């Protein structure tokens, strides 16, 4: 198994500042990247900005600024959002970067042309400015684009075309065999249905008189590369393809994961693979399509103007809370609605009253009842205060494992049942489900406090109290280890509170020495959050 791991997001389109949908995608990719780093892999994590096209030029003109200044400003805002959300990307590619990006786009075009897969013809079609793409009648509802609510323009012009149809069968074979995996299965089926209909050749350029802001077609400056050859090539241009310095490309391509929104699945699972096949390059190993962040039941879209400002939400609730909401309170693969009320409710219920309160109670009780330190007690003592018997177990499976008593220590239960559930979800890239495993543990630890009431038990049996407190300390620390890819700042604070390190093996987490700390997530009322 390769120790290198390459993950990409779709590059953000800079016709406007970044919105919550991109924030979710960046956070998802960050979790996957951080998790693979914890597995000991050499991770390369790419994101960036898509900066060419008619919509960009029109947006700049509308604001009365030069297009270069316009894209520079919005690209900077994307990078600011990545920093604000503590995203651990290694690299950031811009398609307007003539030194890093353009050589790869030009080389790909030439390779496709050499293969005989580029040809020129006159074309008439429906062009959606919102998509920056030609669409068909079946993409319309009442004559308007289903996503953008605008009627397309009828355009007739001479363009270069790419022989996408030539690669239908090869792409189908790659998807069916798993050579290029599509996740989730529903999106795989969507692509297979498209392939069954047969792919049609696609326009690969636009006249430069209509799109002057872009990469010129090699040997024909009257034409500008269309989005496919330009934007999709970012995944290899960032690795040095076409630059003469392609060590990163040799080490990390093909991509392990292209993480994208479901609306651009066709481009990534049909057009991009066909380009790679034509150019003689390996296909990406996996394409993961996530759902939209919706607002009022509609896709959150800069074109529709219903976006939620992620900077404002981070300013009110903190980056960790926003990351938590996007990763656990919204579906990984399906659409999820975002409102500030939902964010605040989740913050109070699961961060302030849940995780934050558990960390605070546990550390305070260890300070009060154990002089600030606990160590794993002997088996007889820990068996007298068992952790919940049937956590993660059905009765039959418990019997199969040979469990005849109610004795379960926290370390045994977590290592045997909670961690496998978490790891299985992470391997399936179901981040919401992995988050559920963490908060299930938080809930069980809360119940454990309620069951044994250490604040009462200490008055009659200090030894049992110490055993209860050790179970709690181990449980909280284990939750923090699983939380590290999701909420790295919070997890690091918990490690510090309990005197452990992120890379400490589970089997060495035998003793905990707590420190004083401020609350992780102060509870917010509606009035405070609105300020």
Q: In the chain, what is the greatest distance between 2 CA atoms, to the nearest angstrom?
A: 89
pLDDT of the residue at 417: 85
Q: Mean pLDDT score of the chain, rounded to an integer? A: 91
Q: Is the CB of residue 319 less than 8 Å from the CB of residue 85? A: yes
Run of H or E including 49:
strand 42-50
Tens of pLDDT, residue by residue over 201-221, are: 999 998 998 888 999 999 999
- Residue matched to tokens 């792409």: 171
Task: List all residues 6 or more positions away from 166 whose beta carbon is below 8 Å from its beta carbon.
Answer: 117, 274, 278
In 109-204, the DSSP E strands lie at 118-128, 133-135, 140-141, 144-145, 153-162, 181-183, 202-203
Q: Are 410 and 471 in contact (CB under 8 A)?
A: yes
CA pair distance 338, 246, nearest whole angstrom = 41
Q: What is the pLDDT of residue 393?
A: 46
- Rounded-to-integer distance, Cα 232 and Cα 8, Å: 11
Residue 154 confidence (pLDDT): 84
CA distance 528 to 531: 6
| Mean pLDDT of all residues in 374-389 | 85
pLDDT (tens digit per residue) in 134-159: 777 777 887 888 777 788 888 888 99
Half-sphere exposure of 165 (CA within 13 A, CB side): 8
* Higher pLDDT among residues 243 and 307, named by residue: 243
The CA-based angle 313-314-318, given to 5 degrees, is 125
Residue-wise pLDDT for 24-34, tens only, equals 999 999 999 99
The reported pLDDT for the residue numbered 398 is 45
- Helix (H) or strand (E) holding 375, with range, is strand 373-375
Cα gap 497→486, rounded to integer Å? 18
β-strand pairing of 373-375 with 181-183? unpaired
The pLDDT, as a whole number, for residue 399 is 47
Per DSSP, the three-state class of 293 is: strand
* Residue 5: strand, helix, or coil: strand
What is the rounded radius of gyration, in angstroms, for the C-alpha atoms of the chain?
A: 26
The mean-pLDDT minimum among 354-368, 392-406, 480-494 falls in: 392-406
Residue 488 pLDDT > 70? yes
Q: Is the pLDDT of residue 405 over 90?
A: no
Domains and CATH numbers, the chain: 339-528 (1.10.730.10)
> On the CB side of 344, how many CA atoms lie within 13 Å of its CA?
13
Kindly state the DSSP code that residue 166 receives in the 8-state scheme: G
Instruction: Determine the pLDDT at residue 145.
Output: 83
| Two structure tokens written together for 483 | 């939380």
Identify the band that residue 54 occupies on the pLDDT scale cut at 50, 70 and 90: confident
Q: How confident is the model at residue 526 (pLDDT cuts 50, 70, 90)?
A: low
Residue 300: per-residue pLDDT: 66
pLDDT at site 126: 83
Average pLDDT over residues 459-480: 96
Rounded to the nearest 10 degrees, the angle between the axes of helix 431-452 and helix 462-483 is 170
- pLDDT grade, residue 394 (50/70/90)? very low
Query: pLDDT tens across 246-256, in order?
Result: 999 999 999 99
- As given in the structure block, the two tokens for residue 156 are 């007739």
Task: Give phi and psi for 519, each to the nearest 5.
Answer: -60, 140
Residue 282 burial (CB count, 10 A)? 12
- β-strands 220-225, 205-207: how paired? antiparallel
d(CA 110, CA 118): 9
Tell me what percent of the chain is helix, strand and coil, each rounded to the nearest 5: 50, 15, 35
Q: Where would I find the H helices in 253-346?
A: 265-266, 272-279, 310-317, 319-324, 340-346
Per-residue pLDDT tens digits for 312-366 = 999 999 999 999 999 999 999 999 999 899 999 999 999 999 999 999 999 999 9
Phi, psi of 524 (to 5 degrees): -115, 135
Counting residues of the chain whose pLDDT is more than 70, the rounded percentage is: 92
* Percent over 90 (pLDDT), the chain: 75
Spatial distance between the Cα atoms of 494 and 483, rounded to a whole number of angstroms: 10
């Amino acid at each position: 198994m390769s120790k290198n791991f390459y993950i990409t997001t779709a590059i953000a389109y800079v016709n406007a500042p970044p919105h919550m949908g991109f924030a979710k995608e960046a956070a998802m990719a960050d979790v996957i990247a951080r998790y693979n780093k914890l597995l000991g892999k050499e991770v390369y994590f790419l994101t960036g900005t898509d900066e060419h096209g008619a919509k960009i030029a029109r947006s700049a003109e509308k604001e009365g600024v030069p297009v270069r200044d316009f894209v520079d400003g919005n690209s900077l805002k994307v990078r600011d959002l990545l920093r604000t959300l503590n995203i651990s990307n290694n690299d950031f590619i811009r398609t307007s970067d003539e030194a890093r990006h353009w050589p790869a786009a030009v080389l790909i075009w030439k390779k496709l042309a050499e293969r005989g897969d580029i040809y020129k013809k006159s074309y008439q079609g429906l062009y959606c400015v919102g998509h920056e793409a030609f669409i068909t009648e079946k993409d319309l509802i009442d004559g308007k684009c289903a996503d953008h609510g605008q009627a397309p323009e009828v355009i007739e012009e001479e363009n270069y075309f790419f022989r996408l149809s030539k690669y239908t069968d090869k792409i189908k074979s790659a998807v069916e065999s798993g050579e290029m995996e599509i996740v989730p299965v529903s999106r795989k089926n969507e692509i297979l249905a498209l392939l069954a209909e047969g792919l049609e050749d696609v326009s690969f350029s636009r006249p430069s008189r209509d799109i002057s802001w872009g990469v010129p077609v090699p040997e024909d400056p009257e034409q500008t590369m269309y989005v496919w050859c330009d934007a999709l090539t970012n995944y290899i241009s960032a690795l040095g393809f076409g630059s003469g310095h392609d060590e990163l490309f040799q080490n990390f391509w093909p991509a392990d994961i292209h993480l994208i929104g479901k609306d651009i699945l066709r481009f990534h699972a049909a057009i991009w693979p066909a380009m790679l096949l034509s150019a003689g390059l390996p296909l990406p190993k996996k394409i993961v399509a996530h759902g939209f962040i919706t607002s009022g039941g509609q896709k959150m879209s800069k074109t529709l103007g219903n976006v939620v400002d992620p900077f404002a939400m981070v300013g009110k609730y903190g980056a960790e809370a926003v990351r938590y909401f996007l990763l656990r309170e919204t579906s990984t693969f399906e659409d999820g609605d975002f409102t500030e009320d939902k964010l605040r409710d989740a913050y109070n219920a699961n961060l302030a009253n849940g995780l934050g309160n558990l960390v605070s109670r546990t550390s305070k009780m260890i300070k009060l009842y154990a002089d600030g330190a606990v160590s794993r007690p002997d088996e007889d003592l820990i068996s007298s205060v068992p952790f919940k018997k049937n956590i993660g177990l059905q009765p039959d499976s418990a019997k199969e494992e040979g469990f005849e008593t109610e004795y379960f220590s926290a370390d045994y239960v977590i290592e045997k049942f909670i961690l496998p559930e978490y790891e299985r979800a992470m391997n399936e890239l179901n981040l919401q489900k992995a988050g559920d495993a963490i908060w299930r543990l938080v809930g069980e630890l809360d119940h454990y406090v309620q069951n044994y009431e250490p604040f009462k038990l200490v008055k009659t049996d200090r030894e049992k109290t110490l055993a209860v407190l050790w179970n709690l300390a181990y449980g909280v620390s284990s939750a923090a280890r699983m939380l590290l890819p999701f909420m790295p700042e919070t997890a690091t604070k918990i490690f510090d509170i309990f005197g452990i390190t992120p890379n400490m093996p589970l089997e060495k987490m035998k003793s905990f020495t707590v420190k004083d700390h401020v609350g992780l997530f102060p509870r917010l009322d509606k009035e405070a959050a609105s300020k």
